[in-house]
């Protein structure tokens, strides 16, 4: 859940959304 979370190459978009919300981006 580091910079990799912000990368466009995610295994599932759902995880990316959760990470974005956690970081408040």
pLDDT for the residue numbered 23:
56
pLDDT for the residue numbered 14:
58
* CA proximity to 14, closest of 5, 3, 23: 5
- pLDDT digits 0-9 by tens, 1-25: 555 555 565 556 555 566 556 655 4
SS (H, E, C) 1-25: CCHHHHCCCCCCHHHHHHHHHHHCC
pLDDT for the residue numbered 5:
52
Whether the pTM exceeds 0.75: the reply is: no
Q: How far apart are CA 24 and CA 12, in angstroms?
A: 19
Among all chains, which residue has been given the structure tokens 């956690």? Answer: 22
């Amino acid at each position: 859940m580091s910079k990799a979370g912000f990368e466009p190459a995610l295994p599932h978009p759902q995880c990316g959304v959760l990470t974005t919300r956690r970081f408040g981006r």
